[in-house]
Amino acid sequence: MRITSKMMTGSIAENLYRQAEQILKSQKAVATGKRIQRVSDDPVGMGKVLDYRRSLANIEQYQQNVIRGKMRLEMNETVLDDVTGLLNSAVNIAVEASSGPLDTRPILAEEVRNLRLQLVQLANSKIGDSYLYAGHQTDVAPYSHHIEIAGGTPGAVEFGLADDATDVTVEIRDAAGALVQTLTQGDGVTPGSGGTAGTNSIAWSGPDGEYSFTVTAGSAGTEVVDYQTYNGDSGDIRLILGDRTNIVINADGGETFGDMFERLAQLQQALQNPDPVAGTSAAAAAVDPLISAADRLERVRADGAVTFKHLELTEDRYAGLKLNVEDMLEKTENVDIATAIVELQKFETDYQTTLATAARVLQPSLIDFLR
């Protein structure tokens, strides 16, 4: 077969174009550090790169979920540690009242009242804008005096009274704090007799919306003993930690705090009892229920500690997995810069060699054209 000048020229031109493309590709690799610039460079490799990137995005989302869960559980442990201290203080007060002098009881009653207020604040703790102990209803204060009217259905105004409370008044306010109505005699509250000792519930209806209420009462040195009503629910908030893995990280306030509010209210009522014998007996009877509440709370804290440990292990596992995936992505997508520079120099040398060869074989005019 006869090789013509035209065939030789075409072959040399093709080699030069191919080598120029190799140089351009190597220059991009050195500049970007990426081996694969487009799908056509390595379709199989690009598929792996996309898979690795998806895996990293999922891992990073799971890591963020773990961080959120740990923050919530750390806050939960801080709050419940304070509640444990509060219950221990209440037990000490009950023990002192059951055997101590009578003249200290008004002071002790005030201390218990303050403990009750602290417990409400702790039970209404928030992380960010979410209540910790409202179940799934994280935008609802779990232990406020709360009424919600929807579809005209009456809401329940629930409160507790000491057995000698008199002149009971219930003030209902709207979400802006404006007074809507005052419930007194004829509205289910009976001044003079104090209504019913213990828990009272009055059906009240107004325009649809959310309301709060306060209860006041007078008596012979006794204030109203008002039990707190749980306004949340028992719904779960779950954190996704994997394709088939999730954990519950919220708390049901009704389950967490149980009858603590009632027990503290009963202790306060015992300390305010004008009958010293009955008051002493009631204070002594309050000790064991308060200890039981503290024991139950310790079990709740233990469950939280187990969940926290699970999150720590999950965090460690994802940290290791992320390093592995990042390493595989780097090996698939990136180039070794030193190797890439050597390769670029080789391509440039080959290109110059081809040009030199062409200069000797072809006419100068053609070489000038190719350059």
Is the full-model pTM beyond 0.85?
no
Q: What does the pLDDT average to over 169-185? A: 78
Q: Give the pLDDT confidence score for residue 305 in this predicted structure.
A: 93
User: Could you tell me if 342 and 25 are in contact, meaning their C-beta atoms sit under 8 angstroms apart?
Assistant: no
Instruction: Please enumerate in sequence order all residues whose Cβ is within 8 A of that of 86, keeping only pairs 6 or more positions apart, or say none.
Output: 115, 118, 119, 122
Q: What is the pLDDT of residues 127-139, one digit of tens each?
A: 988 889 988 888 8
Q: Kindly state the helix (H) or strand (E) to which residue 150 belongs, with its residue range.
A: none
Quick one: what percent of the chain has pLDDT higher than 90? 27
Q: What is the pLDDT of residues 35-44, one digit of tens each?
A: 666 666 778 8
Q: What is the pLDDT of residues 144-153, one digit of tens each?
A: 766 777 777 7
Q: Give the pLDDT confidence score for residue 89 in this predicted structure.
A: 96
In Å, what is the CA distance from 157 to each residue of 12, 184, 226?
Answer: 95, 13, 11
Give yes or no for residue 322 having a pLDDT over 70. yes
**Which of 9-13, 43-47, 139-143, 278-282 holds the top average pLDDT?**
278-282
Q: Kindly state the helix (H) or strand (E) to which residue 244 belongs, with its residue range.
A: none
SS (H, E, C) 66-132: HHHHHHHHHHHHHHHHHHHHHHHHHHHHHHHHHHCCHHHHHHHHHHHHHHHHHHHHHHCCEECCEEC
Which position has the higher pLDDT, 240 or 219? 240
Domains of the chain in sequence order: 144-227 (2.60.40.4070)
**Residue 186 Ramachandran class (φ > 0 left, ψ -120 to 50 alpha, else beta):** left
Q: Give the pLDDT confidence score for residue 138 in this predicted structure.
A: 86
**Which of 105-119, 202-216, 316-330, 351-365 holds the top average pLDDT?**
316-330
User: Could you tell me if 166 and 221 are in contact, meaning their C-beta atoms sit under 8 angstroms apart?
Assistant: no
Q: Which residue has the tokens 């519930």?
A: 201
Q: What does the pLDDT average to over 211-236? A: 68
Q: Give the pLDDT confidence score for residue 237 in this predicted structure.
A: 85
Q: Give the pLDDT confidence score for residue 217 in this predicted structure.
A: 65
Quote the CA–CA distance of 241 and 318 in Å, as a whole number. 10
Q: Kindly state the helix (H) or strand (E) to which residue 329 belongs, with its residue range.
A: helix 287-333
Q: Give the pLDDT confidence score for residue 293 in this predicted structure.
A: 94
Give yes or no for residue 259 having a pLDDT over 90. no
User: Could you tell me if 365 and 8 are in contact, meaning their C-beta atoms sit under 8 angstroms apart?
Assistant: no
Q: What is the pLDDT of residues 86-95, one digit of tens each?
A: 999 999 999 9
Q: Give the pLDDT confidence score for residue 289 in this predicted structure.
A: 94
Q: What does the pLDDT average to over 316-336? A: 86
